[in-house]
Structure 1
Amino acid sequence: MTTTTEFQLVDIDKLVPYANNARTHNKEQILKLRSSLREFGFVNPVIIDREYNVLAGHGRIMAAKEEGIAEVPCVYADHLTEAQKKAYILADNRMALDAGWDEELLAVEMEELQNLGFDLGLTGFDESEIADLFDINSDEAKQDDFDVDAELEKPCKSKLGDI
């Protein structure tokens, strides 16, 4: 297996977007990417070849340009053939779509972020998606048949060593 390890900051104007990039980026997504760049920095590098052709990261580049970022982190994938480059451009975008979410864990993570005062919009989820996630947890709580009042009416019993 060949790995790519060379990392470099590259002038954003040197980067050449792939002319046949089938992946589209609407204004809303670019706004989300811009917010992400402001909050987290440019932590996911652009993948390029030695001629500065972009293989992955087109949306991040668009957002970075709008943010006035002059240099972006890049990783060279110079071990790929021309056919592999074309295939990677498609594969990088398509394979991410096959991933799913464990919605219960996602709701827990979102709730923890909310409790920490973090802006949940910076996660990339929109307001309705976040509301749906919180409804998952509230549905579970509504189905709980535990009667707090009845339990509090019962006498408390403890013995030496319980505490």
Structure 2
Amino acid sequence: MAQIAASIEEFGMVGAIVVRDGVIAKGHGTLAAIRKLYGAGKRLYPPPGHARGAEPFVDGDVPVIDASGWSDGQFRAFVIADNQLALMAGWDEELLRLEVTELRDEGFDVDLLGFQAVDLARLLDQLAVG
């Protein structure tokens, strides 16, 4: 949740929470991160985020997509597919190494990318060794 909150702070609120009949299909972690931000007295911004001058959303507002037209089966299938497809996405390791290294060298906080510290170190070390 802390990584999601940090990402929202850096990039702005890029997506939306998907809801059907008051039940979240996508965005449980995002909503928890937003609550954490609001609870800390922070505001929610659309892209490109606060640091780049975006105007904040009205306090307490969260972007939501209404999926009330889905059947029960579509709702359940979307929840599974959304999570499983993200797990299966994979990476082009060499391109990932180059992008992360360039971001780091430009001074970007690569901890915001969501990788575990050990995986990030391995990724960056492989470039230095390779």
Question: Which residue is equivalent to 2:37?
Answer: 67
Q: Structure 1, unaligned stretches of length 5 or more?
A: 1-29, 141-163
1:54-111 deviation digits (Å, cap 9, x = unpaired): 1101100011011115111111223310111111111111121111111111110011
Structure that is richer in helix per residue: 2
- Distance in 2 (CA, whole Å) between partners of 1:139 and 1:114 is 17
**1:99 and 2:89 equivalent?**
yes
Question: Which residue is equivalent to 1:41?
Answer: 12
Q: TM-score, normalised by structure 1?
A: 0.63
Give 4+ residue runs of structure 1 displaced > 6 Å after superposition: none
| Identity value in percent | 35
Structure with greater Cα Rg: 1
- Contact 1:107 1:137 (C-alpha < 8 Å) held by counterparts: yes
**1:88 and 2:88 equivalent?**
no
Q: TM-score, normalised by structure 2?
A: 0.78
- Contact 1:34 1:63 (C-alpha < 8 Å) held by counterparts: yes
Question: Which residue is equivalent to 1:31?
Answer: 2
Deviation at 1:126, TM superposition (A): 2.5
- Distance in 1 (CA, whole Å) between partners of 2:124 and 2:116 is 13
Q: Return the match for 1:123 from 109, 113, 118.
A: 113
Q: Structure 2, unaligned stretches of length 5 or more?
A: 39-43, 45-59
> What root-mean-square deviation, in Å, do the aligned CA atoms of Structure 1 and Structure 2 show?
1.3
